[in-house]
A and B are shown apart, each in its own frame.
Chain A
């Protein structure tokens, strides 16, 4: 499959320098069955995803459960081995790196997880959780240097220095997410993959964490891949947004442009389904029929044709390519854009 050509600056005014480039990334998970545990089927979790992220930019990756957005994020870090495709980070292909190179890479690429309860080791104190990365990457020559750095990191994310002597269970969800952020920041990364970082938090706490992520981006020049299912949050934090459906990117555009002029019928339906917290706003809702199809046997042609309100017969035959409809606005639909 042909990947779309690389474009230079995607957002007017955005930095031209690209930090990460993903090309035709694919991940198939084998389904084992029978007494011999043979591969009986495959789930096409990520099915040819391509995008790039500019330095200092936030790319939002949205889609419903099972669309492959988290798998994409993890394949980029090689927490999951991609089946094929390329991930270029600062001129090197991550998918070809050996163990040593990968370990060095982890200094530059970090991840924040959704569940602040499951992603912190309950038997380590916060100081050790944050300090672990400093030890691995030999960033703290002495115990004193390590403690100073941990204190500095805790203060950066809005926690108290004495919190380093406590265990994760002594913190609330929002505070734990701050610990996860401090841990990611410890190695001074360039890119942070944020995998649903606020989904488990209450709205008032969610706002605190979003504001913190924005402040840190400004302070340290961070680049984010922000994966979430909440479209309002993604719209708020992202420079550009990519929409995924059943393992494929169906639309990429600058955040504002995507929300004001969605081209793909799926993006349109997704946006119209978001409830607006204002009873005076009455919108026309595009109701999608049925559920997301099974990714073991995704529909032929355009994956969305089974639920698409404007589908025509040939949508079941031909796979639409992601093409540039307007400068910076990419869409994969035969009939839109």
Chain B
């Protein structure tokens, strides 16, 4: 994390803690996360279920229900301004014009009782002063842009009339219709088949080139990260464990968790992967109710030493832009 504010930084999350109050106690879902995204950059946020990647993303747009959630500490600087204390109205303005989000499950994030045209036109009308007819024409134009065949006709269709891949295209069209500076994509292709995933990733790349926005790509798939991102942040149990340019992360992963994550995936492009055993990480993710003292990965780490369970290792720079939270 840069100590001084760099003007090119779009989003700068500093020491964010988003906790949830539950019957069993406080769940520290996001527990001190630093993350920054520059203009026009694609940053991957990876980690397994429950590591806090989605909560981090939703915190940025303040889409967390409060209560039970609450911001315990930290800042979310959007172009230098902290979003946490912002009023609802001001936040709505940012959501409508500057930061857009697309979700994993496109069916549950589209309203089933309105046509997709109505839903996209609503976003366009928020952004520009247009007549309903003009807004609808704009919606058709957006559908054409995301390569939906017959856009003039399909604006009048309802979400259930689209396939999974097409619905995700509609979501992207809606997100882009406000020409955001940052697109948060939360597992955008996880629910899709691999050939459709390839289409959607290509579309996102195309749209990025066209609109010049930055993308925060949240995913658990290392393959998707390798193909689309410039920088990657790896999260584990509510904390950032490693941050690096994508080439460095895959060629020289420093944190034992990142190493395990990369090595545990079978590879189809390498003959050596066949027959060999997969490297697996023993054990399971710790509970975030009472996270262990010290490094949260220590219990599963094969290099763990006494010192690992005593203090939380801070992120240290090991190479330009490459930071690791590990004592080794």
Contact = CB atoms under 8 A, between A and B. Distances in A.
Interface of A: 64-65, 172, 174-175, 202-208, 210-211, 214, 229, 231-233, 235-236, 255-256, 259, 269-281, 283, 285, 287-288, 291-292
B264 A207 contact: yes
Contacts of B198: 272-273, 275, 285, 287-288
B270 to A, nearest CB: 9
Given A275-B223, A275-B226, A281 B247 contact: no
Contact of A271 (B49, B222, B265, B268): B268
Given A64-B194, A65-B193, A278 B280 contact: no
A255 B275 CA distance: 11
A88 B47 CA distance: 44
Contacts of B269: 276, 278, 281, 283
B304 to A, nearest CB: 16
Q: What 7 pairs across the A-B complex have the smallest Cβ distances?
A: A275-B223, A207-B280, A236-B266, A207-B264, A64-B193, A204-B281, A202-B48
Contacts of A273: 194-195, 197-198
Given A172-B284, A203-B261, A287 B202 contact: yes
Contact of B193 (A214, A229, A271, A280): A229
B274 A236 contact: yes
Given A207-B278, A276-B226, A232 B246 contact: no
B165 interface: yes
A285 B281 CA distance: 31
Given A214-B277, A273-B194, A259 B227 contact: no
Nearest to B193: A64
A280 B267 CA distance: 14
A206 B247 CA distance: 25
B313 to A, nearest CB: 20
Given A273-B194, A287-B199, 12 more contacts: A229-B193, A231-B194, A235-B273, A275-B198, A275-B201, A276-B267, A277-B250, A278-B250, A285-B198, A288-B195, A291-B163, A291-B166
20 contacts: A202-B285, A205-B284, A208-B282, A232-B265, A236-B278, A274-B268, A275-B198, A275-B221, A275-B223, A275-B224, A277-B222, A277-B265, A277-B267, A278-B267, A279-B226, A279-B227, A280-B247, A281-B226, A288-B195, A291-B196
Given A232-B268, A277-B267, A204 B260 contact: yes
